[in-house]
Amino acid sequence: MSTTSIPSDRKIVLVTGASSGIGEATARHLAAAGHHVVLGARRVDRLTVLVKELSEAGYSAEYAELDVTDPAGVNAFAETALARHGRIDVLVNNAGVMPLAPMAALHVAEWNQMIDVNLRGVLHGIAAVLPSMLERRAGHVVNIASTAAYRVDPTAAVYCATKYAVRALSEGLRQENSDIKVTVVSPGFTRSELADKGGDPQAQGAARSATELIGLPASAVAEAIGYAIGQPAGVDVNEIVVRPTVQN
């Protein structure tokens, strides 16, 4: 496939989990900043509408169906972007799930889902972009962790474990590669669909109430991601924690 004529100052940015919440807000923010966004998620109906809206606004965007738990699918997502544009400048590893429940409830399938999406999904993304970034000696991996990567709370044990792990692997990736920028963005309560799916009804209800009461707009997290991406060559913003002022 031939490469498009995207100017080199416009970054090619892949965003996983772009069909709602923080990923969708990040797509809007980065597209409006002039970057070309390549959006992935399972709900392609949402991505179709978003890309249409961005394109009609004069921005540059495309999408592909993506399940981050499938390493071959994540590779294909990155390979397609690479073939089309000749490079991947930034990967925003954003896709995530948070079915909260006490461990004693033994929601083992949901524990595995959190590990598969939040941890393995991030690793699949890194594996898909790292070789071409190393070859170019340039690139930026932005991993979305959480304030749950810094403190553990009841009903969030496994979710926190995945987010602590994302922080740990990000630091390792950073230390091993002097040409690649690595940023961990850790939001606090943020308005999105995160607490709408799965988990224990009481735990999810509490998370939803807190988010409705104090949650940041997803655009606030998108701006933090945009800040990290906007730094000049040689400047690597390693960690950003962005939470509501009233969150303890």
Closest listed residue to residue 128, CA positions, set 180, 198, 78? 78
77 forms part of the interface with ligand NAP (CB under 6 A): no
Name the minimum Å distance from CB 92 to ligand NAP. 10
User: Which one, 100 or 237, has the nearer CB to ligand NAP?
Assistant: 100
For residue 242, the tally of other CB atoms under 10 A from its CB is 17
Q: Does 184 bind ligand NAP (CB under 6 A)?
A: no
Does 199 participate in binding ligand NAP (rule CB under 6 A)?
no
Counting contacts by CB under 6 A, is residue 15 touching ligand NAP?
A: no
* Pick 174 or 191: Cβ nearer ligand NAP: 191
Nearer to ligand NAP, 10 or 42 (CB): 42
Q: Order of strands across the sheet with 239-242?
A: 60-65, 36-41, 12-16, 90-93, 140-144, 181-187, 239-242
Give, as one character, the DSSP assignment of residue 149. Answer: G
Q: Does 68 bind ligand NAP (CB under 6 A)?
A: yes
99 is a site residue for ligand NAP (CB under 6 A): no
Q: Is 155 in the site for ligand NAP (CB under 6 A)?
A: no
* From candidates 192, 203, 204, 228, binder to ligand NAP by CB under 6 A: 192
Q: From 6, 60, 5, select the one nearest 28 (Cα to Cα).
A: 60
Asked if 158 is part of the footprint of ligand NAP (rule: CB under 6 A), the reply reads no
Longest dimension (CA), the chain: 55
Nearer to ligand NAP, 84 or 208 (CB): 208
Q: Does 139 engage in binding with ligand NAP (CB under 6 A)?
A: no
Measured CA angle at 60 (ends 55, 64), to 5 deg: 85
Q: Give yes or no: 150 in active site.
A: no
What is the Cα–Cα distance from 188 to 140, expressed in whole angstroms?
A: 23
Residues with a catalytic annotation lie at 159
